[in-house]
Amino acid sequence: MVNTSIKTTKSEEIFAAAQKLMPGGVSSPVRAFKSVGGQPIVFDRVKGAYVWDVDGNQYIDYVGTWGPAICGHAHPDVIAALKEALEKGTSFGAPCALENVLAEMVIAAVPSIEMVRFVNSGTEACMAVLRLMRAFTKREKVIKFEGCYHGHADMFLVKAGSGVATLGLPDSPGVPKSATSSTLTAPYNDLEAVKELFEANPGEIAGVILEPVVGNAGFITPDAGFLEGLRELTQEHEALLVFDEVMTGFRIAYGGAQEKFGVTPDLTTLGKIIGGGLPVGAYGGRSDIMSMVAPSGPMYQAGTLSGNPLAMTAGIETLKLLQKPGTYEYLDKITKQLANGLLEIAKETNHAACGGQISAMFGMFFAPGSVHNYEDAKRADTKKFGLFHRGMLERGIYLAPSQFEAGFTSFAHTEEDIQKTLAAARDVMSNL
């Protein structure tokens, strides 16, 4: 193998110092590269499809700050609008006309959303939606799926995906039993299991929450009929269906997975893309349910920085860019080239692999067969993925540092970037 080892001295110095200052040296666990081994690189700046580390190395980025950067990093339109908004101040803590603009765009785009509340993160959106599910139905139990991640609130840290899966934690200490005792879990794509839970808990289940396309246990798509079946079951039991589209919203399609699959939930959570790289989250849905939220109704939920003008501005500009004709066709085209290319290379180099892509989201597991749920995903060869990840990094390709995360493209990625990525993958897989 050619010696492609890159110089990362400064990254190593900074990360060593960070480990004395912050737990694990990071502000969010997966960033520490624990599951792929080796040291994380420390970013200096980002632009378009690329990131640069503090040692000056350039990478093609498929993490996109975990989803928000679908227009590419630091898009000039977003930056220009932010500069203008910045001059007017960073936070109002009072009504701001920009909230109306983003709310109108979100409502027009997402089929289930008639009214929306802005918060500061996906975690917050999911916490609030859970409270709302319970407040509206006057029931306490909720069903979530193994490997789905809905942020780090206590009630959701049961068989959760993302960092929880990456680190192999079944659960987290510090979460009281009482917090999760009303959280029921089922395997993803298993309608029968959901049916059984409804039958075993008659009149007690507030609703079902899921990632309509999973990105936090690796990339897993819903089997034909799964989303439709959940819609029927929840209606039959007068429970709510909630799509957590924090990741899939404006990525799987402009109107999210619900537009793509034609299944309309009662409530939806959003985040990531709608903040254009600034901290944001949102939850919305049917007006009769959303009217329960304070001050219109009795369900309390608030936020000092919620709806702040910078996040609203970045979100508005990002959605405007996504509305341009051809955007999603382009995203689908390049992401398909990438995902299919990776699978072909794996086959040619005799590595068992499976995966796929929808729109600007993709994934590949080093596992035979196909992956329909978290149990299947766990069969993947994470050691091999770690070596693949490191090899790609050394060739200037930045992939999510875990087998259990989806990959993201942006419309700043060119076909040339994809070809370079595939050439690197061929080189790495031939030597694995």
Instruction: Convert residues 279-318 into a mask of x (bound to ligand PLP by CB under 6 A) and - (unbound).
Output: --x-------------------------------------
Measured from the CB atom, the residue of 40 and 215 that comes closer to ligand PLP is 215
Please state, in angstroms and rounded to a whole number, the distance separating the CA atoms of residues 117 and 182. 25
Please state, in angstroms and rounded to a whole number, the distance separating the CA atoms of residues 120 and 123. 8
Q: Which of 15, 50, 59, 149 is in the footprint of ligand PLP by CB under 6 A?
A: 149
Q: Which positions ≥6 away from 189 have C-beta within 8 Å?
A: 220, 222, 223, 226, 372, 373
Q: Which of helix, strand or coil describes residue 67?
A: coil
**Only segment of 175-183, 243-251, 286-294, 368-376 that touches ligand PLP (CB under 6 A):** 243-251
Which residue sits closest to ligand PLP, CB atoms considered?
122
Our finding on whether 247 is near ligand PLP (CB under 6 A) is yes
Handedness of CA 172, 177, 182, 184 (dihedral sign): positive
Question: Would you say 252 and 260 are in contact if contact means Cβ atoms under 8 Å apart?
Answer: yes
Q: Which of 40, 72, 147, 151 is in the footprint of ligand PLP by CB under 6 A?
A: 151
Our finding on whether 121 is near ligand PLP (CB under 6 A) is yes
Q: Which positions ≥6 away from 373 have C-beta within 8 Å?
A: 145, 146, 147, 187, 188, 189, 190, 217, 220
- Per DSSP, the residues of 15-56 read HHHHHHHSGGGSSSGGGG-TTT-SPPPPEEEEEBTEEEETTS
Measured from the CB atom, the residue of 65 and 349 that comes closer to ligand PLP is 65
Our finding on whether 159 is near ligand PLP (CB under 6 A) is no
**Only segment of 105-113, 136-144, 242-250, 331-339 that touches ligand PLP (CB under 6 A):** 242-250
**Only segment of 109-117, 171-179, 244-252, 375-383 that touches ligand PLP (CB under 6 A):** 244-252
Q: Nearest CA to 157 among 136, 138, 174?
A: 174
Catalytic option among 59, 149, 283, 328: 149
Count, residues near ligand PLP per rule CB under 6 A: 15
Our finding on whether 271 is near ligand PLP (CB under 6 A) is yes
Q: Which of 112, 123, 359, 409 is in the footprint of ligand PLP by CB under 6 A?
A: 123
- Ramachandran region of residue 155, left (φ > 0), alpha (ψ -120 to 50) or beta? alpha
Q: Which of helix, strand or coil describes residue 198?
A: helix
Q: Which positions ≥6 away from 245 have C-beta within 8 Å?
A: 110, 211, 212, 252, 256, 257, 258, 268, 269, 270
Residue 174 burial (CB count, 10 A): 8
Measured from the CB atom, the residue of 206 and 247 that comes closer to ligand PLP is 247
Our finding on whether 358 is near ligand PLP (CB under 6 A) is no
Catalytic option among 272, 328, 376, 378: 272
Catalytic option among 53, 190, 244, 376: 244
Please state, in angstroms and rounded to a whole number, the distance separating the CA atoms of residues 180 and 177. 5
CB of 361 vs ligand PLP, minimal distance in Å: 11
Our finding on whether 211 is near ligand PLP (CB under 6 A) is yes
* Catalytic-residue membership of 272: yes
**Only segment of 8-16, 116-124, 164-172, 361-369 that touches ligand PLP (CB under 6 A):** 116-124
Q: Which of 54, 96, 213, 246 is in the footprint of ligand PLP by CB under 6 A?
A: 246
**What is the token pair recorded at 257?**
């997975």
* Catalytic-residue membership of 149: yes
Please state, in angstroms and rounded to a whole number, the distance separating the CA atoms of residues 197 and 139. 14
Our finding on whether 122 is near ligand PLP (CB under 6 A) is yes
**Only segment of 8-16, 144-152, 300-308, 387-395 that touches ligand PLP (CB under 6 A):** 144-152
- Tracing tokens 């409502």 back to the chain, one arrives at 107
* Catalytic-residue membership of 141: no
- Contacts with ligand PLP, residue ranges (CB under 6 A): 121-123, 126, 149-151, 211, 215-216, 244, 246-247, 271, 281
Catalytic residue positions, numbered: 149, 244, 272
